[in-house]
Structure 1
């Protein structure tokens, strides 16, 4: 039996990874979250704890017998200069590494983000692309990568996963895809900044979950991109939302987008070759799922 501890278990990605792993008879799941109560339906051990607090390691280790793997998803998401980013994403990640060392964990999987690279300079974007994050949030995620690599026991398998924009049922409602989907369903105008040529990469949260399961099986060391096969421009995304919703919405291009020509075209070759990662959900399928939940 593999004992897997997931931080951020109540979050969007955490809920779907839990569902994927829970189907496996040989995996026992322990969830850690800041909320008082566990919000899922699966029968797991839940520990309410704040990873950024100074007493986190002692408190949590006293409630655990054995952990083989930690999947570290918990993070504070903000694009303001927010001290909570430092406390949770940097100090909290250090505490997770300390917990992993104390519990002699075999593997730590850390969820990072593709935009730690800053602006794409070379396409396609590989794991070797230079890093130059443009926000404090992405700086904190890159710092987390360095903490995992520098602070975990030398013999621990350290797997860093850089994801593109995660999408699926229950996703955050203020993202561009969610806003486009809602407006198309209500037959309202869809506003696209600039010419709408900026290309984004979206990955279905179910593909992320399947990728994490493969990582637990193969135990790869290093940094891996987990993204979809292709990117889509903002104007194409608006058109797809209208088509999928059979909507009468109009697309209105407005203002300027400083990143109009930016293309987030990302290579997943390394993940394919190393642990057999292969995303199966096209964005049209995911969008249909999202529209059904609107």
Structure 2
């Protein structure tokens, strides 16, 4: 199949592009290489996907450009069977500082993709959404019927994008699926995430720094589980038109996460605390019953196992990855 992955040089998009190329598909990646974080890690994502294509007999093409460029999007979609729309301006704190940028990319960019797709013979558009659409919990774990009251411009933009996808499915019979990701982590993850910083600081003899009191909780989802459900959607139409949580086996508070990393790498260090960051959700926890019912989705990696795997990968790739973390 011919697959377009927008944002395919980023963390999740890069892993998706690599997996599809490795399965022998013809993959095109559209990414603007925005320096939201150091583009060195994005080049590693591109290289991994190209190598996967070389090994499998598939093909890989990288196009530098933005989903905000309607002509570019239309040209690429014309030759595509399936679209994995991962391109977005990520980062809650970035959106608090500049609300218009996530709107332009996450909302207008998504409309460009959807408009191009409805005018083509696309089998499916799979959209990356986020647990940030929920905001303050009225109950946990979140199911898809939970009220959506995002507490950041980023959350608002992802909510708007997934609702456009739902409406396009209903009005134009365009097969779309929106996946609400819950704090995805793993190899080549963004260097400005809490886990990367905890690991890096411990390896460098510095205590992990927790923003806030550490009681905020997250549902951390390992990248392999994300890739697996996206691969299934390439041929499975069971979730067309739906919005679905994709989370993990359990959630963990940030203080305990720091302690897990600390115990693994530097038990002699003491935790440090700093001021809480504006716009961060207090809690996230996914109810994945809908994903299980429609797709048979079962998360396979719990947080402690995933942390151990990430630490092992980090240590093997420390030479190139760590400078990105320290500069983030």
Q: 2:46 aligns with which of 27, 39, 48?
A: 39
SS at match of 1:44: strand
| Residues 86 and 140, structure 1, Cα contact 8 Å, conserved in 2 | yes
> In the aligned structure 1, how far is the partner of 2:303 from the partner of 2:127?
25
- The separation in 2 between residues aligned to 1:210 and 1:287, in whole angstroms, is 19
Sort the Cα spacing of 1:123 and 1:90 in 2 relative to 1 into closer, same or farther, 3 A.
same
Note the C-alpha offset of 1:93.
0.5
With the length of structure 1 as denominator, give the TM-score of the two structures.
Answer: 0.88
Partner of 1:285: 305
State the partner residue of 2:16.
Answer: 17
Q: Indicate whether 1:91 and 2:108 are aligned.
A: yes
Root mean square deviation of aligned Cα: 2.6
Question: 1:285 Cα deviation (Å)?
Answer: 2.9
CA shift for structure 1 position 117: 1.1
**Larger relative helix fraction:** 2
Larger deviation, residues 108-117 vs 240-249: 240-249
**CA spacing shift, 1:124–1:58, aligned 2, 3 Å:** closer
SS at match of 1:182: helix
In the other structure, the counterpart of 1:55 is 71
Cα 1:4/1:256, change in 2 over 3 Å: closer
- Secondary structure class of the residue paired with 1:216: coil
TM-aligned CA distance change 1:208 to 1:124, over 3 Å? same
Structure 1 residues 46-55 or 194-203, which shifts more? 46-55
Q: Please name the residue that 1:200 is paired with.
A: 218
SS at match of 1:132: coil
Q: Which residue is 2:142 aligned to?
A: 125
Q: Is the 8 A contact 2:136 2:281 kept in 1?
A: no
- Counterpart in 1 of 2:118? 101
How far 1:257 moved relative to its partner?
8.1
Residue equivalent to 2:165: 148
Note the alpha carbon deviations across 1:132-167, whole angstroms, 9 max, x for none.
111111111111112212235632221000001111
Gaps of 5+ in 1: none
Q: Distance in 2 between matches of 1:264 and 1:58?
A: 36
